[in-house]
Amino acid sequence: MKYLLAILIIVAPLFSFSQERLFSGKVIDKERKTGIPFCVIKAKDRNEGVYTDENGRFSFNSNTDSVKDFICYSLGYAKREISITQFQTDSTTIELEKEYTNLKESVVFADKGKIRHKILGRKKAKHVSDCYQKYGEEDAVYLIADRFNNGFLKEVFVYITSEGIPDTKFRIHVYEKDPKTNMPSTELTDSNLVVHANKGNEWVKADMSNKRIPVGGGVFISVEWIAGHGNNDAALQSSKHAIVTNHNGQVLGLQRNYGVPYLYHRYPFHTEWISNWDTNLNPALCPMIYGTYTYTRK
Q: Where are the domains of the chain?
A: 2-96, 110-297
- The answer to whether residues 72 and 79 touch, using CB atoms and an 8 Å cutoff, is yes
What's the rounded Cα separation, in Å, for the pair 295 and 298? 10
Beta bridge partners, 230, equal: none
Q: Is 216 left (phi over 0), alpha (psi -120 to 50) or beta?
A: left
pLDDT tens string 102-115:
544 444 444 466 78
The average pLDDT across 145-163 equals: 86
pLDDT, the chain, mean: 82
DSSP character for 134?
-
**pLDDT the model gives residue 8:** 38
Peptide bond into 283 cis (omega under 30): yes
pLDDT tens digits, 8-31: 344 444 444 557 888 999 999 999
pLDDT reading at 280 higher than 60: no
Mean pLDDT value of segment 246-265: 78
Lowest mean pLDDT among 180-184, 196-200, 229-233: 229-233
Q: pTM for this structure? A: 0.85
Rounded mean pLDDT of 58-66? 88
The answer for residues whose C-beta is within 8 angstroms of residue 183's C-beta and 6 or more apart is 177, 264, 273
pLDDT confidence of residue 197: 94
Does 258 have pLDDT greater than 80? no
CA distance 10 to 6: 6
Share of the chain above pLDDT 90, in %: 43
Residue 3 is predicted with a pLDDT of 46
Which superfamily is assigned to 2-96 in CATH? Carboxypeptidase-like, regulatory domain (2.60.40.1120)
Question: What span, in angstroms and rounded, lies between the C-alpha atoms of 264 and 77?
Answer: 25
